[in-house]
Amino acid sequence: MHAFHPDLAAARFIPAFSFGPASARFVRGRSARPAPTPPGVSVQELTVAGPAGAPAVTLRIFQPSGLTAPAPALLWVHGGGLIIGSPEQDDRTNIAFAAELGITVAAVRYRLAPDNPAPAAVEDVYAAFRGLLAEAEVLNVDPDRIAIGGASAGGGLAAAAALLIHDRGGVQPVFQLLVYPMLDDRTVTRDDMDTRGVRAWTPKSNRYGWSAYLGQEPGSAGVSAYAAPARREELSGLPPAWIGVGTLDLFHDEDVEYARRLNAAGVPCRLLVVPGAFHGFDAIFAKAGVAQDFWAAQAEALREALRPLHG
């Protein structure tokens, strides 16, 4: 089954393209441009301590103007297959989260592979979470109501960071917002998938992204769950989650399975599967009704997860 959602029918004209070393370097050299900041939202850059022996980590902070009391926050991790991308690419939706929900959104700028293989990116996300906690009072962030989330590779890094934060102890995120997350390097080894409707992130791109990040062949023994969260055997004790993915997404099967395993482990996970949607459909066709509904489902999940603890 590879029919596109009616709102996404034009996707059949998207040409086949896969990332490799040269194309990834080319894209990395052309950073996304910041989105215009509308009235009612402020944007600032905040630098926090990085992992031990590594550079500092930068957070791109979005807040409702005039925020004077502690409010919830979302630590957001951008996508890009672990090889490309920057926080600016998600400015539009991060501004919308801040404005619509009245929360702080902190988008982390993490190190990219292959120059910085695992565990660089997830350690940067972990450092960003700890840095956000350290600056909570200054930023008017409620440390007990911080969610962690991301899209694609960012969703995978958010899930991996949730594992890392859980295992190291201390204040925990209250929620995971995982948008078609990149969770399982073993998907690279599959030869039984119907990929005729796959767009934006192809099997070849997936092989390169995982290989660059892992520094070894995807599917090999000994890959850490902090790199590929689907490798984790024990999922109990993690924050509740929301996972959204399309039926034509290369990550569909691994995402559905992770949601199933979270629920089986006693971790509430709401799964939204969008028929006929491909990877990144909501960014490529942002004005489509199905894309707007997909974002609204994320916003509602966050609203519910970050509601006041009392009253």
Instruction: Give the residue from 165, 57, 163, 62 showing the smallest Cα distance to 110.
Output: 57
Residue type, 147: A
Interacting residues of 283 by C-beta distance below 8 A, sequence separation 6+: 89, 151
Establish whether 152 is a catalytic residue: yes
**What is the C-alpha to C-alpha distance for residues 24 and 19, in angstroms, rounded to an integer?**
6
Of the listed 152, 184, 255, 282, which one is catalytic? 152
Neighbours of 34 (CB within 10 A): 13
Of the listed 5, 78, 252, 279, which one is catalytic? 279
Of the listed 90, 142, 184, 249, which one is catalytic? 249
Establish whether 249 is a catalytic residue: yes
Which residues have a catalytic role annotated? 152, 249, 279
